[in-house]
């Protein structure tokens, strides 16, 4: 039974890391003592150790221990032994490149589909989808494949921003970019606004948080909603 939390962000403006999710995570990881953290997305180029330390500090508030996957001699064994998994945000291209090149993408998929609780934030949520083609990140590295975990049958656009009618910026909006994606792809896209997250329990997908998602489908006008079954 799949057991996922897929969040747009790890940190709401003005709050501590994961603060808005901690009550949910206390119940989500109630049967796990140690969380295996995948730090490969490395926001801002932070080291794996420094990133893991930030996560560990947050999880101490709900009495959970954290170990970075990079600390294992065998990364595959680290995935296999994980009680619970958290993949943090950062650059999705870098994260996907590392998971493919280390031979971990299919191992991680199998582990989560077998029931291991999985938390993703930002890039960590992006990889739960069919592929990473709706990330907002710059292609700073070139992954062997854009295919990701396929734990849900749609893609996630984390940090979704609605168009600002008062903005003088002439560049493309998120909605425009997703429309471009749908010229060539049929995969639905869920725009997750900040503070919102998806709770997946097997085939039940529940949108939680203060905002509806922005739903994009090929050849349809985008709309706000909570129904994530496609």
Q: Which residues are catalytic?
A: 122, 137, 159
Angle at 55 between CA 143 and CA 174, to 5 degrees: 50
How many residues does the structure list for the chain?
A: 230
Secondary structure element (H or E) that encloses residue 204, with its range: strand 204-208
Instruction: Identify the burial level of 47 via C-beta atoms within 10 angstroms of its C-beta, where 0-12 means exposed, 13-18 middle and 19 or more buried.
Output: exposed
CA distance readout (Å), 190 to 147, 161, 182? 17, 12, 13
CA distance readout (Å), 222 to 52, 88, 214? 37, 28, 7
Q: Are 162 and 106 in contact (CB under 8 A)?
A: no
Angle at 17 between CA 57 and CA 121, to 5 degrees: 110
> What is the residue-wise DSSP string for 64-76?
-EEEEGGGSSSHH
Three-state DSSP class for 117?
coil
């Amino acid at each position: 039974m799949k057991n996922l939390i897929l969040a747009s962000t790890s940190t709401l403006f003005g709050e501590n890391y994961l603060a808005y999710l901690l009550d949910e995570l206390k119940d989500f990881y109630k049967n796990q003592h140690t969380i295996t953290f995948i730090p490969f997305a490395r926001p801002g180029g932070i080291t794996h150790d420094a990133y893991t330390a930030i996560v560990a500090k947050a999880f101490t508030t709900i009495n959970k221990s954290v170990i970075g996957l990079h600390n294992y001699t065998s990364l595959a064994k680290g995935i296999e032994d994980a009680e619970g998994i958290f993949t943090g945000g950062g650059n999705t291209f870098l994260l996907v490149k590392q998971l493919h090149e280390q031979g971990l993408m299919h191992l991680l998929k199998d582990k989560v589909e077998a029931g291991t609780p999985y938390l993703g934030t930002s890039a960590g949520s992006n990889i739960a989808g069919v592929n990473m083609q709706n990330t907002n990140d710059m292609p700073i590295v070139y992954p062997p494949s854009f295919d990701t975990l396929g734990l849900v049958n749609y893609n996630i656009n984390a940090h979704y921003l609605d168009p600002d009618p008062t903005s003088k910026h002439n560049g493309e909006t998120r909605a425009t970019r997703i429309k471009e994606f749908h010229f060539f792809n049929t995969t639905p896209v869920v725009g997750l606004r900040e503070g919102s997250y998806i709770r997946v329990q097997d085939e039940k997908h529940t949108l939680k948080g203060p905002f509806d998602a922005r739903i994009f489908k090929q050849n349809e006008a985008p709309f706000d909603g909570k129904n994530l079954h496609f």
